[in-house]
Amino acid sequence: MLVMCVIIDATAVLREKSSLQEELQRSLYATASAVAESYDEMYPGDYRLVQLGGGYVSLYKGDIELTEQYAFLDHLREKSGMHISLFFKDARILTTLQDEEGNRYAGSAINAAVSSQMERKQIPLYYEVEIMGELYYACYIPLWNSDGALTGMVATALTSAEIKKEAAQASWPILVITLLGLLTASIISIRYTSRIVNAINQIHHFLAGMVGGNLSNTMPDTVLKRKDEIGQTGGDIVRMQNAVRVLVECDPLTTLYNRRYGNAKLKNMQRRSAKTGAPFAIAIADIDFFKKVNDTYGHDAGDEVLKFVAGELKELMGGRGHAVRWGGEEFLLIFEDMELINAGAALEEYIDRLHGLSVTYGQHTLRVTMTIGLVEGSPKSELEDLIKQADEKLYYGKEHGRDQLVVTMDGAQPCYRMLLVFQQDEKRGNTMITFSDEILDSENPMQLFAEIAMREAEQEALEDEEEDAKPADKKKEKDTKEKKDE
């Protein structure tokens, strides 16, 4: 833009200078022509030089002596601002040029180059000449007598300083307007390009995050809302990120998270648990007799079973955590912000629900069951150990009948749905008895659960006996109050 403005300014100034020069030449020529015509009108006759005594000469036009007749020339000088000189042959006879003491610059010879050119061409000539140590721009026009002979010249001139001053005054508006235009264009350009640069930097930051493994980064709206190529590029990059995330994070068959991303989720969950104390649980689930499905119906049928199970696990884990395809027909389930009892109840419901579902493959209807090992998460334990514990419980379930949830490996598996319901009932009654840890830590949880239920029944029977032993009037009063309450 700066180079363009310099070119524009230079072109405009040169054009303005050329226009000023043309106008100056016209003005000088017009004034010189007016002088020559005025003399012809005022003083009919030819120009002639009369020799006087003592070496002096006098210029006549017709019968009128022009020497020392400056009134007309001085009047034109005052009106036009130009210096005027009248030459006879090559000698300056009349002039408005004066030195610092007021002496006329008469009697001086014309520039030899001008005189030579005028004799040869006899047309108006324009020269920059030095007179009395100062540069002038002058116009020379020829003077003819009645016989057509070149007898002299009329010259009009302006100082070069005056011309440059006038040219500068004419150029300043061009320069100012150009600079203002440059400033305005620069401000607009800077504001616009700064937005472009900012958008490009945001895209660069987004891509740097992707390269660093952050595939959950979000592209700023300031990029996506742009209606230009940068906005389109930002949208394309977001779509590319989504495609990369699917390739990197998800299993292509089931669209569940893959093992690599599942490990990352586990680490994040454990770190958050260590920081906030939030509970979590981990489960390993395996499809029962999956190899038999592949061997009997083919791998395509096995793929249909995997996709069916994945869809059901997605529904199970919705709002609870994440489902991960751990490998083959094994799945890792991460329960976030959930205690073991809640995760166990959800998995028991899931296993029961599978009993009423089936997978259709061609003419075949396939039933699916799963065995699941569940462990309670701990921020202090190694994740590999927790997964190993869940895996051991899974294989314990495989060896002891399949189609079940395994939390304890002593053969006495508590019903977590019943425990959860009982716990919720106790909370609603504001007489909560915390026994879940006692049951889970027991070697025989079912027996302990029965003992707790028996203690509760004995307590209720004792309260009934005490009620029967009360006096009749107290009993009557109580019955009356109960009826009133009813």
Q: Give CA 285 to chain center in angstroms.
A: 46
- 144 strand-pairing partners: 150
Last residue of a domain, one of 409, 442, 469: 409
Among the candidates 143, 169, 195, a domain finishes at: 169
Distance set, CA 257 to CA 247, 249, 384, 393 (Å): 10, 6, 18, 23
Instruction: Report how far residue 300's alpha carbon sits from residue 292's, in angstroms, rounded to the nearest whole number.
Output: 13
CATH at residue 158: 3.30.450.20
In this structure, what token pair is assigned to residue 474?
Answer: 């107290």
Q: Would residue 357 count as lying in a domain?
A: yes
pLDDT at 431: 43
Statement to judge: residues 157 and 263 lie in one domain: no
- Tell me how many domains the chain contains: 2
243 located within any domain? no
| Two tokens, residue 211 | 């390269």
If residue 335 lies in a helix (H) or strand (E), which one and from where to where? strand 330-336
- If asked whether residues 279 and 138 sit together in one domain, one would say no
Q: What is the mean pLDDT of each run of 10 residues along the chain (486 residues)?
A: 77 75 90 92 90 77 88 91 91 90 87 89 91 90 91 92 77 78 85 89 90 83 90 91 82 92 91 93 96 93 95 94 94 95 94 93 92 93 93 93 90 80 66 47 55 66 67 58 56
- Mark which of 409, 439, 463 sits at the end of a domain: 409
Residues 271 and 146 in one domain: no
144 and 27 co-located in one domain: yes
Q: In this structure, what token pair is assigned to residue 157? A: 């001139």
User: Do 24 and 157 belong together in one domain?
Assistant: yes
Structural domain contains residue 26: yes
- Structural domain that includes position 383: 256-409
Looking at residue 139, its pLDDT comes to 94
Residue 179 lies in a domain: no
164 and 274 share a domain?
A: no
- Residue 378: give its domain's CATH number: 3.30.70.270
3-state secondary structure of 162: helix
Q: Residue 94 falls within a domain, yes or no? A: yes
Q: Does 414 fall in a domain? A: no
Structure confidence at residue 432 (pLDDT): 43
23 plus 158 within the same structural domain? yes
Q: Is the pTM of this model over 0.75?
A: no
Residue 157 falls inside a structural domain: yes
Does residue 245 belong to any structural domain of this protein?
no
